[in-house]
Chain A
């Protein structure tokens, strides 16, 4: 445990402050790792090594003066859904072509303000639509983990699959993700890292390419919750340019790690014991309860009666919004244009060529549920059910402080095991979607390996804007689980 790739974000920060290592050294080591490993992983869509070296140099100058923000000199990867000034931003779609935004998203601007060094833009499912990172126009991302018994390429989860893979493989010290129905938590679980989906409104959506506006929320992905806490504190904050961002103080999340869980009431939603869930997932869940109980928490069964409606209503609400949000990609002002003699022809040709299969499927579903004659039956109903789901959580939180559930119904599956039925694929989000629908914060921490040696995660769900309690409970699991496994493909492992 002494190599440069053994650093966590927090320990790298401390080493940089103490000048035990320079930002340039740290950055170069990560750029080297990306060059060595990312040909295989494909976690980056755009690499920005020159910019990163410049930024690292500047960070060293700042650090030399004893100054610098919380992330000064820390190499990060940015999900390619965040617009970055002067750096191509694709949403992993062909339709954006070589779109280079002349503006910076608020979240990445906050990270830059605190001194972060960006190594590039990370791969994802096209427009964040997917749970396996198989829908990217820039090719699938490979999970750095391998099963014990096979060399099959595993998916990293999605949609923040590039972020998850890059963090897990040690290509970056942390990454931004976005979570609409589980897009941070599920890939974090699949790659053995930590990820937080903050409360809706905690991080500004300004400059982040929209999938489903009422659900999209940016969050951190890193090796552990301490790293996530450091990142979240930088990313979060009120932004007058996002009407749905909330003006409430940003706590020092890192301090929450030490709080412990003594006396904490942990709810176990009985409806999450779904049929067909693998025994080892159920066993891990039980283990999680035991760890928290041992650490002083009280385990309480709770009911979230509308859980079973979470997935179908999510796919109505999210896709309705997506169908409208993606209307702007029409080939008229930016991105790819396929010429045609008429305006409608231009739309049809540009959108047919620019969007992938899954995105088209979702636009069609979303358009359908908003159509005259179907709106009441689908969209309006889904909105009502969404309110009920939210009330489920509010009611449960009258009695408990956090909820504990599995993050995903399985570990990472192989790329060629991808379900052919899209609905089967959507089931990956079954445990993550309800918290998204309610807008409450949730996180995933690595908790163990399955029988084939692939990581599994546990999810904690908390009260609105109470990320601190989540972090405290999550850290208790981290300590108990002592998850120090490493993936097969890792920067610290010499080939």
Chain B
């Protein structure tokens, strides 16, 4: 089903393109040796190059180039063996040199794509126009003094990848799915940590609307610097609404840059096209054109980890899990790794079931992530082994897992300590059932009179009497036998 917004003149389609700024994972900045680590006391991760001191020159950090190439490979994109750095000139207090070094005319990565999974189970391909490397600016702090602003240059010069999508996105959901998938790919490859709260991933959102069936795009607005997936989705919705209202009132949408105010749930004009900066791009004469070898690209490709799409397919095939289960397990590399450790040497489908169910629930309840899970993959595998070999049943296993989370003890230790070993002694089961049947003569009569549904009642009563430890299959079997006597 296509996403449509209904206005007073009928239905509207939205057209969205995203420019994602992803901070490159690297030790040092793009053109200086200063640390690229997040945080730190203000102005402690700053070299003289970053601060734009006279005579200072940029020197390209090769690791950042490798990260961009890896990302390009992850996006199945064209890798440009020739690219170039340009200066984007504008004055701002947190831009020390008065220009940002970026790649304008010749980006390092060309056309690529991202496959996004939608809630209805369908998949869409969103085109990537380009990816280029550029420097981040510093941070201006305006709220610490009534008359002065402060500048923190820790971030100045940190490497960013600007990843520009085609205007292929047609709904807020697709935008969210695209961002999640992009983040997933970046995190898999290890080129960006995708942490939107710390600003290591930010998005500029280009939105326009048109009537279904129109082939031309109408004027778009760019919403700058949106810093969460939820806000991106909200911003698209409210901006599309605004534009529809403008068109339907007989007006025209002006090309402009806008800001999203999530508190008020609206976008506001930041500057119009007329006020747009003239960035006076030109090739940075301090840097040579960036020429890389195909053999180097091949090396990087060979060393690339398995990507989400491939991993999802493999888990389906190798472990017999469903597409849904596989895609959830592949959201994070660490989860998939955890799963595979559990699944190797256990019932793989049971493992998927448990991870997606009780195990994730336990993580959520304790507020832990997979990396610091209170139960190790080996521990979970042992627990599942106890189910498979009928030492305990599924219900008891839930109790054991809770105990494991709480105490950190192993599954078998808990089973021993609590005496939870399943009863498979048919004599013990039979005597328990006989007691139940004797105490419920009336129900036995009803059952024998044709009220089949009462079978469940007898199972429940038996298990209750056996404190849940009865082997379910044996309980069923014995009940059937005794009831038909």
Q: Do A and B bind each other?
A: yes
- A: residues with CB less than 8 A from B are 82-83, 89, 91, 96, 99, 101-103, 105, 205-210, 212-214, 240-244, 320-321, 323-324, 327-328, 330, 332-334, 343-344, 347, 367, 370-372, 375, 379
Contacts A91-B54, A101-B54, A328-B97 given: A370-B91 contact, CB under 8 Å?
A: no
The answer to the question of B288 belonging to the interface, with a C-beta cut-off of 8 Å to chain A, is: yes
Pair B57/A242 contact, Cβ less than 8 Å: yes
Pair A320/B59 contact, Cβ less than 8 Å: no
The answer to the question of B146 belonging to the interface, with a C-beta cut-off of 8 Å to chain A, is: no
Residues from chain A with a CB closer than 8 A to the CB of B149 are: 343
Interface digits, B141-156 against A, CB 8 Å rule (1 contact, 0 not)? 0000000010100000
Residues from chain B with a CB closer than 8 A to the CB of A91 are: 54
The answer to the question of B370 belonging to the interface, with a C-beta cut-off of 8 Å to chain A, is: no
Contacts A103-B48, A214-B285, A243-B288 given: A327-B55 contact, CB under 8 Å?
A: no
Find the B residue at minimum CB distance from A335. Answer: B54
Determine the distance from Cα of A380 to Cα of B479 in the docked complex, in whole angstroms.
91
The answer to the question of B41 belonging to the interface, with a C-beta cut-off of 8 Å to chain A, is: no
Pair B286/A243 contact, Cβ less than 8 Å: yes
Determine the distance from Cα of A379 to Cα of B282 in the docked complex, in whole angstroms.
8
The minimal Cβ–Cβ distance linking A473 to chain B, given in whole angstroms, is: 30
Determine the distance from Cα of A212 to Cα of B151 in the docked complex, in whole angstroms.
28
A208, A321, A330, A343: the one contacting B55 at CB < 8 Å is A208
Residues from chain B with a CB closer than 8 A to the CB of A324 are: 87, 89, 98-99, 280, 282
Pair B54/A332 contact, Cβ less than 8 Å: no
Pair A243/B91 contact, Cβ less than 8 Å: no
Find the A residue at minimum CB distance from B276. Answer: A372
The minimal Cβ–Cβ distance linking B175 to chain A, given in whole angstroms, is: 30
Contacts A214-B285, A240-B59, A243-B288 given: A367-B280 contact, CB under 8 Å?
A: yes
The minimal Cβ–Cβ distance linking B291 to chain A, given in whole angstroms, is: 13
B57, B87, B281, B285: the one contacting A206 at CB < 8 Å is B57
Pair A327/B97 contact, Cβ less than 8 Å: yes
The answer to the question of B93 belonging to the interface, with a C-beta cut-off of 8 Å to chain A, is: yes
Determine the distance from Cα of A321 to Cα of B89 in the docked complex, in whole angstroms.
11
Residues from chain A with a CB closer than 8 A to the CB of B48 are: 102-103
Pair A96/B93 contact, Cβ less than 8 Å: no
Find the A residue at minimum CB distance from B52. Answer: A328
Pair B55/A244 contact, Cβ less than 8 Å: no
Residues from chain B with a CB closer than 8 A to the CB of A327 are: 89, 91, 97-99
Pair B98/A328 contact, Cβ less than 8 Å: yes
Residues from chain B with a CB closer than 8 A to the CB of A370 are: 89, 280-282
Determine the distance from Cα of A240 to Cα of B52 in the docked complex, in whole angstroms.
18
Which residues, 52 to 100 on B, are CB-close (under 8 Å) to A?
52-60, 87, 89, 91-93, 96-99
The minimal Cβ–Cβ distance linking B97 to chain A, given in whole angstroms, is: 5
B51, B54, B93, B281: the one contacting A83 at CB < 8 Å is B54
The answer to the question of B371 belonging to the interface, with a C-beta cut-off of 8 Å to chain A, is: no
Residues from chain B with a CB closer than 8 A to the CB of A323 are: 89, 280
Pair A212/B97 contact, Cβ less than 8 Å: no
Pair B55/A209 contact, Cβ less than 8 Å: yes
Pair B280/A99 contact, Cβ less than 8 Å: no
Which residues, 113 to 161 on B, are CB-close (under 8 Å) to A?
149, 151
Pair B89/A89 contact, Cβ less than 8 Å: no
The minimal Cβ–Cβ distance linking A112 to chain B, given in whole angstroms, is: 16
A103, A212, A333, A375: the one contacting B285 at CB < 8 Å is A212
Q: List 8 A-B contacts (CB under 8 A).
A: A91-B54, A208-B55, A242-B59, A244-B286, A244-B287, A333-B51, A334-B54, A370-B280
- B: residues with CB less than 8 A from A are 48, 51-60, 87, 89, 91-93, 96-99, 149, 151, 278, 280-282, 285-288
Pair A207/B55 contact, Cβ less than 8 Å: yes
Contacts A324-B98, A324-B99, A327-B98 given: A375-B282 contact, CB under 8 Å?
A: yes
Determine the distance from Cα of A264 to Cα of B412 in the docked complex, in whole angstroms.
93
Residues from chain B with a CB closer than 8 A to the CB of A103 are: 48, 53, 55
Pair B59/A243 contact, Cβ less than 8 Å: yes
Find the A residue at minimum CB distance from B89. Answer: A324
Contacts A244-B288, A328-B96 given: A209-B280 contact, CB under 8 Å?
A: no
Residues from chain A with a CB closer than 8 A to the CB of B52 are: 328, 333
Pair A243/B54 contact, Cβ less than 8 Å: no
Residues from chain A with a CB closer than 8 A to the CB of B58 are: 243
Determine the distance from Cα of A171 to Cα of B278 in the docked complex, in whole angstroms.
48
Residues from chain A with a CB closer than 8 A to the CB of B282 are: 320-321, 324, 370, 375, 379
Residues from chain A with a CB closer than 8 A to the CB of B59 are: 240-243
Determine the distance from Cα of A307 to Cα of B56 in the docked complex, in whole angstroms.
33
Pair A241/B97 contact, Cβ less than 8 Å: no
The minimal Cβ–Cβ distance linking B268 to chain A, given in whole angstroms, is: 21
Residues from chain A with a CB closer than 8 A to the CB of B288 are: 243-244
Residues from chain B with a CB closer than 8 A to the CB of A206 are: 55-57
Pair A334/B285 contact, Cβ less than 8 Å: no
Determine the distance from Cα of A292 to Cα of B402 in the docked complex, in whole angstroms.
97
Q: Give the most central of B54, B55, B96: most A CB within 10 Å.
A: B54
Find the A residue at minimum CB distance from B286. Answer: A213
Find the A residue at minimum CB distance from B33. Answer: A241
Contacts A243-B287, A320-B282, A327-B91 given: A332-B57 contact, CB under 8 Å?
A: no
Determine the distance from Cα of A242 to Cα of B286 in the docked complex, in whole angstroms.
8
Determine the distance from Cα of A344 to Cα of B92 in the docked complex, in whole angstroms.
9
Residues from chain A with a CB closer than 8 A to the CB of B280 are: 323-324, 367, 370-372, 375
Q: A324-B99, A328-B97, A375-B282 are in contact. List 17 more A-B contacts (CB 8 A).
A: A91-B54, A103-B55, A207-B55, A243-B57, A243-B60, A243-B286, A244-B286, A244-B288, A323-B89, A324-B89, A324-B282, A327-B97, A328-B52, A330-B98, A375-B280, A375-B281, A379-B282
Residues from chain B with a CB closer than 8 A to the CB of A379 are: 282
Determine the distance from Cα of A203 to Cα of B32 in the docked complex, in whole angstroms.
21
Find the A residue at minimum CB distance from B55. Answer: A207
Determine the distance from Cα of A105 to Cα of B278 in the docked complex, in whole angstroms.
33
Residues from chain B with a CB closer than 8 A to the CB of A344 are: 91
Determine the distance from Cα of A69 to Cα of B411 in the docked complex, in whole angstroms.
76
Find the A residue at minimum CB distance from B277. Answer: A372
A208, A210, A240, A372: the one contacting B278 at CB < 8 Å is A372
Determine the distance from Cα of A209 to Cα of B54 in the docked complex, in whole angstroms.
5
Residues from chain B with a CB closer than 8 A to the CB of A320 are: 282
Residues from chain B with a CB closer than 8 A to the CB of A244 are: 285-288
Contacts A241-B59, A327-B89, A327-B98 given: A96-B278 contact, CB under 8 Å?
A: no
The minimal Cβ–Cβ distance linking B55 to chain A, given in whole angstroms, is: 4
Find the A residue at minimum CB distance from B97. Answer: A328
Residues from chain B with a CB closer than 8 A to the CB of A105 are: 55
Residues from chain B with a CB closer than 8 A to the CB of A328 are: 52, 54, 96-98
Which 5 A-B pairs rank lowest in CB-CB distance, beginning with the nearest? A327-B98, A214-B285, A370-B280, A213-B285, A207-B55
